[in-house]
């Protein structure tokens, strides 16, 4: 029996995890067993913790994207099959990853086609946001992500019309594809089918979600032409990103608000990014107190969103996981993050402990397979 896999890509902060979690809840209500695979260049992921909190079986591929860690992806898929026997696995590649058709979908179909059935590649495009402040290579990477979509989801459709944005069904980077062949080798596709199916969705209101689920449950990847992509530029784009994953704890003798601590830290980071002309791709924080959880995200300046906010009471301690992806050198990002953590101290006697701290730029992509 084959297990269906839907790969859900798109740029950092485009809304992949939020959509996948909303989809998993909806699928569970329809009677499907669902598993998730999260992915990152480092470890200690807010996304994995969120999926675990939602009680959805999750496997994590850490230390590199699916394409460079293909054996780890396979191991994660297998683990999910063993523990949860899912009908559908939703897999979220790192938001700075592209060329997924050639390096992930095709190898899965070609080498493991008896075990896995691939849904069309979904890519999220957040039309409420501009990447104009990012270097040209990052914008190139973003274009490549959009260009290989089989289903292009125009995410956060509830924000359409705000910030002067509009969501339509025309792809902003529309590039017709050439002579793809079907996965099963049943011949060439109709030229029209080379274009992505386009759909506005909102994980917040649920608009478009059922329509998308019907597509990924009912259709197979058509094995479109692989991207013609310049790996030098792709590597330059990755190298232009500063990546920080940190995990730690705060302890104080007097009660304080963990929400204020989070808001203060993120506001400081946001201010430092603005002062140092650093564009924000995605900054996310998960905070756990003895009584509840908080999760906040920033995908651009002025966009702080609280996705989880169950912490009503004051606390004397909390744990945190901080993931930052910005256009900055690692050494610069490390200084900004430490300054933000120190400035958020609830009182001068409070102590913070960093259990894990890694700050780097992703290495050039070296896919295990490229077909
Ligand atoms: N208004 C609105 N906000 C959304 C929607 N989907 C996601 N967001 C917000 O966008 C931010 C980023 O969402 P994520 O789901 O973490 O994005 P992601 O693509 O998984 O990000 P990375 O894993 O860092 O690449 C969060 O603050 C979400 O609340 C949506 O449909 N509408
Ligand atoms: Mg995510």
pLDDT at 190: 33
Q: Is 365 in the pocket of ligand 1 (CB under 6 A)?
A: no
pLDDT of 150 higher than 90: yes
Shortest-distance Cα residue to atom 21 of ligand 1 = 13
Same domain, 201 and 301: no
CATH number, domain of 181, equals 3.40.50.300
Of 9, 10, 17, 157, the residue with max ligand 1 atoms within 8 A of its CB, to mutate for a pocket test, comes to 17
Buried b (16+ CB within 10 A) or exposed e, 261-272: bbbbbbebbbeb
Shortest-distance Cα residue to atom 2 of ligand 1 = 156
Arithmetic mean of pLDDT over the chain: 90
Half-sphere exposure (Cβ direction) of 142: Cα atoms closer than 13 Å: 22
Q: Is 159 in the pocket of ligand 1 (CB under 6 A)?
A: yes
Q: Is 204 in the pocket of ligand 1 (CB under 6 A)?
A: yes
Q: Is 16 in the pocket of ligand 1 (CB under 6 A)?
A: yes
Distance (Å, rounded) from C-alpha 146 to C-alpha 125?
7
pLDDT at 252: 96
Rounded to the nearest whole angstrom, what is the distance from the C-alpha of residue 187 to the centroid of ligand 2? Answer: 35
* Closest ligand to the CA of 13: 1
Q: Which domain holds residue 97?
A: 3-238
Q: How confident is the model at residue 170 (pLDDT cuts 50, 70, 90)?
A: low
Q: Is 156 in the pocket of ligand 1 (CB under 6 A)?
A: yes
Last residue of a domain, one of 209, 238, 267: 238
Q: 231-270: per-residue pLDDT in tens?
A: 999 999 999 999 999 999 999 999 999 999 999 999 999 9
Mean pLDDT in residue range 268-292: 96
For 167, phi then psi, to 5°, come to: -115, 120
pLDDT of 313 higher than 70: yes
Same domain, 85 and 188: yes
CA distances from 152 to 54, 146, 148, 267 (A): 26, 7, 9, 32
Residue, of 305 and 163, whose pLDDT is higher: 305
Q: Specify if 366 maps to a domain.
A: no
Same domain, 297 and 251: yes
pLDDT at 264: 97
**141-145, 227-231, 274-278, 309-313: segment of lowest average pLDDT:** 309-313
Number of domains in the chain: 2
Q: Specify if 50 maps to a domain.
A: yes
Q: 177-229: per-residue pLDDT in tens?
A: 433 333 333 222 333 446 799 999 999 999 999 999 999 999 999 999 999 99
* Closest ligand to the CA of 297: 1
Last residue of a domain, one of 170, 203, 238: 238
Q: 331-365: per-residue pLDDT in tens?
A: 999 999 999 999 999 998 999 999 999 999 999 99
* Closest ligand to the CA of 65: 1
* Closest ligand to the CA of 129: 1
Shortest-distance Cα residue to atom 5 of ligand 1 = 156
Distance (Å, rounded) from C-alpha 110 to C-alpha 347?
58
CATH number, domain of 267, equals 3.30.70
């Amino acid at each position: 029996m084959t297990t269906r896999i839907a790969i859900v890509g798109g740029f950092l902060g485009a809304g992949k995890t939020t959509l996948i979690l909303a989809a998993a809840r909806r699928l569970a209500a329809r009677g499907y067993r669902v598993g998730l695979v999260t992915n990152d260049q480092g470890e200690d992921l807010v996304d994995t913790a969120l999926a675990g909190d939602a009680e959805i079986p999750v496997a994590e591929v850490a230390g590199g994207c699916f394409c460079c860690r293909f054996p780890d992806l396979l191991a994660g898929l297998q683990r999910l099959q063993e523990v949860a026997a899912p009908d559908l696995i939703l897999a979220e590649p790192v938001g700075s990853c592209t060329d997924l058709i050639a390096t992930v979908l095709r190898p899965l179909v070609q080498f493991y086609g008896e075990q896995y059935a691939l849904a069309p590649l979904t890519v999220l495009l957040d039309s409420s946001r501009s990447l104009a402040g990012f270097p040209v290579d990052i914008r190139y990477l973003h274009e490549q992500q959009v260009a290989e979509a089989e289903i292009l989801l125009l995410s956060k459709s509830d924000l359409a019309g705000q910030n002067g944005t509009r969501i339509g069904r025309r792809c902003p980077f529309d590039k017709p594809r050439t002579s793809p062949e079907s996965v099963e080798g049943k011949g060439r596709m109709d030229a029209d089918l080379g274009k992505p199916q386009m759909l506005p969705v909102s994980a917040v209101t649920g608009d478009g979600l059922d329509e998308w689920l019907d597509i990924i449950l009912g259709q197979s990847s058509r094995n479109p032409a692989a991207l013609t992509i310049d790996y030098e530029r792709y590597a330059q784009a990755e190298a232009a990103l500063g990546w920080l994953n940190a995990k730690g704890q705060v302890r104080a003798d007097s009660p304080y608000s963990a929400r204020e601590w989070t808001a203060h830290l993120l506001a400081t980071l946001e201010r430092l990014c603005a002062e140092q002309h650093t564009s924000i791709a995605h900054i996310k924080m998960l905070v756990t107190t003895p009584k509840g959880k908080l999760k906040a995200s920033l995908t651009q300046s002025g966009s702080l969103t609280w996705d989880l906010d169950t912490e009503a009471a004051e606390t004397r301690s909390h744990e945190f996981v901080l993931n930052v992806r910005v256009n900055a050198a690692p050494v610069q990002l490390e200084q900004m993050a430490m300054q933000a953590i120190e400035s958020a101290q609830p009182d001068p006697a409070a102590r913070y402990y960093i259990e894990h701290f890694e700050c780097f730029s992703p290495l050039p992509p070296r896919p295990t397979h490229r077909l």
